[in-house]
Amino acid sequence: MAEDSSLEYNFENHWNTAYQKTPVDKLGWYEKESTPSLELIALCNLPKNAQIFNAGAGASVLIEQLLSEGYSNLVVNDISSSALIELKNNVQKYKNSKIQFIVDDLTNPSELVKLKNIDLWHDRAVLHFFTTEKQQKTYFDLIRKTLKPNGFVILAEFNLEGAKKCSGLDVFNYNEAMLQEQLGDNFKLVKSFNYTYTQPSGGLREYVYTLFQRTEKE
Ligand SMILES: C[S@@+](CC[C@H](N)C(=O)[O-])C[C@H]1O[C@@H](n2cnc3c(N)ncnc32)[C@H](O)[C@@H]1O
């Protein structure tokens, strides 16, 4: 695991630059449709007013897809204000839905710690950028602090056979057992699968998709 010196790097600047210099549909993580995420979200059987939190959402099309499916209570986070400005523009027409935009660092949260009663935590391609033990602990503590009893967690990260870098940054690769260990005994794995994502450039990226449910009582 990397040393804490990686915390000195300006990640906010890194990600703002990524979103400012490249059109969203050319980014190495752009999805036209968030099919594997939507498949797992459907399994949760949530009411349409469930509070869904998207960690490091970027300008992901998932938000628009959830809104078009009728989900009306979304909390969208990113460290990059540029990404969230773009996302806000894309979802302007969904005026009857509650969408909260929170620019904050998942590994050093100030606003995110105020969240509570999240029904579903969704993360695609974000956790794997947290390479130090401290960053990872802060991230998983935040899930445990903000998620409802019986709430769901979807984590989709580069798998053990997957790329070792993305956007020029080192990544930490996962399998479902490693994610289970980080979440702890009060979460049970509902479903997982490996998934090969094709980048706009044609490159292939190997992911593990996991859906967990919190099992402890209130
Ligand atoms: C590879 S992109 C994935 C974006 C989106 N989840 C998707 O699937 O399209 C990683 C995202 O994580 C965000 N991010 C990186 N580090 C973060 C942090 N510490 N806190 C919050 N967001 C972060 C980046 O700005 C970027 O939008």
Task: Kindly report the protein residue whose alpha carbon is nearest to atom 2 of ligand 1.
Answer: 125
- The pLDDT confidence band at residue 3, using thresholds 50, 70 and 90, is very low
- The pLDDT confidence band at residue 2, using thresholds 50, 70 and 90, is very low
Q: Read off the pTM.
A: 0.96
CATH number assigned to the domain with residue range 4-214, chosen from the 4 options 3.40.50.300, 3.40.50.150, 2.70.170.10, 3.40.640.10 = 3.40.50.150
**How far apart are the CA of 3 and the centre of ligand 1, in A?**
21
Specify burial of residue 94 (Cβ count, 10 A radius: 0-12, 13-18, 19+).
middle
Task: Kindly report the protein residue whose alpha carbon is nearest to atom 27 of ligand 1.
Answer: 58
CA separation for the pair 90, 101 (Å, rounded): 13
* Model pLDDT for residues 138-157, shown as the tens digit of each residue: 999 999 999 999 999 999 99
| Ligand 1, pocket residues at CB < 6 Å | 11, 15, 29, 56-58, 60, 77-80, 83, 105-107, 124-126, 129, 166
Averaged confidence pLDDT in the chain: 95
**How far apart are the CA of 57 and the centre of ligand 1, in A?**
6
- Strand ranges for 45-146 from DSSP E: 52-54, 73-78, 98-103, 118-124
- The pLDDT confidence band at residue 4, using thresholds 50, 70 and 90, is low
Torsion angles phi and psi, residue 133, rounded to 5: -60, -40
Q: Where are the domains of the chain?
A: 4-214
Task: Kindly report the protein residue whose alpha carbon is nearest to atom 4 of ligand 1.
Answer: 58
Torsion angles phi and psi, residue 47, rounded to 5: -65, 155
* Model pLDDT for residues 80-105, shown as the tens digit of each residue: 999 999 999 999 999 888 999 999 99
Q: Which atom of ligand 1 is nearest to the CA of 80?
A: 25
Task: Kindly report the protein residue whose alpha carbon is nearest to atom 10 of ligand 1.
Answer: 126
Tokens of residue 189, six digits: 């794995």
Task: Kindly report the protein residue whose alpha carbon is nearest to atom 14 of ligand 1.
Answer: 56
Predicted local distance difference test score (pLDDT) of residue 216: 74
Separation in Å, CA 180 to CA 109, 189, 205: 22, 7, 22
**How far apart are the CA of 106 and the centre of ligand 1, in A?**
9
**How far apart are the CA of 136 and the centre of ligand 1, in A?**
14
CA separation for the pair 51, 105 (Å, rounded): 20
**How far apart are the CA of 56 and the centre of ligand 1, in A?**
4
Bridge partner list, 122: 54, 154
